[in-house]
Chain A
Amino acid sequence: MNEPQFALRIRQHLNQGARVDARVAAQLRAAREQALARHRSEPEAGLALASNALGRLGGVRGLSLRVLLPLVILGVAFATAVAWQQTQRVAEVEELDAQLLSSDLPIDAYLDQGFAAWLKRRASQ
């Protein structure tokens, strides 16, 4: 008997064997669900352990690491973004003032209410 034939036989046996009565089917189903549930809860166990350790260290019992960690990350990210934006704004004003003060025109030209508009109007003519 070659390999494909053997596989066919096994398949036929398995197909026949799968016809179990309702009680056995229920038992098999329960066992499978139990195994799946255990498999799912394994990674959570590690996180729960870390959460407990944190709870013991920082006295934040009741607050899960799963809630705390994303919040801390978000907080740090937000603070960094705000600080970065502020630095950018300061740098922008520095650059602008340096350009303005070294430009061809005196400060009075930039303080004048009409000059910029006059220049723009003339350029569009």
Chain B
Amino acid sequence: MAEAARLAIALAAALLLLAAPPAAAAPEKDRRWSELNAEQQEILVPLEGEWDRLEPAQRVKWIGVAKRYPKMTPVGQKRVQTRMKKWVKLTPEQRKQARENYRRISKVPPEKRGDLQRDWAEYQSLPPQERQRTAPKKKPVTAQ
């Protein structure tokens, strides 16, 4: 019985070791600006000034974003480049909040919402009280 248990553990470990490397692509390495290749520098050029001051984890993330850049549409590429600088200036909490909101907005089925840019413009044109009314509160407001 003990032999069987040991064999099961060894098999599970072997499977894990075999399965892990292909499932997760090798993580990018942290690099200083001068160590980036020409293509990465070209994509990440808006961050050149602050690159070496960024957190190592952030730099690794941006190298990962640069890897996905060629697959984006030209419009998407332009957006990424113009938004980079603003994104790195946000606090980690703000970035977390933005990602959370991105997930929530992405979950709204496209057929139930209009064009997102038009929706955003419409929302911005609402009076401030109206906009604040929709902001999530600590306790959910229920109809009395």
Residues of A within 8 A of B (CB): 66, 69-70, 73-74, 76-77, 80-81, 83-84, 87-88, 90-91, 93-107, 109-124
Contacts and interface: CB of A to CB of B under 8 A. Distances in A.
6 contacts: A76-B17, A94-B67, A98-B80, A118-B131, A118-B134, A123-B113
A74 B6 CA distance: 10
Residue of B23, B72, B134 with most partner-chain A CB within 10 A: B134
B144 interface: no
Interface residues of B, number: 57
Contacts of A109: 101, 105, 116, 120
Interface of A is mostly: helix
B52 interface: no
A87 B24 CA distance: 7
A97 B120 contact: no
Contacts of A81: 16, 20
A124 B112 CA distance: 8
A70 B123 CA distance: 60
Given A74-B9, A109-B120, A93 B113 contact: no
Interface of B is mostly: helix
Contact of B80 (A101, A113, A116, A120): A101
A120 B23 contact: no
Contact of A104 (B13, B87, B116, B135): B116
B49 interface: no
Residue of A96, A101, A104, A117 with most partner-chain B CB within 10 A: A101
B40 interface: no
A122 B79 CA distance: 27
B65 A97 contact: yes
B10 interface: yes
B41 interface: no
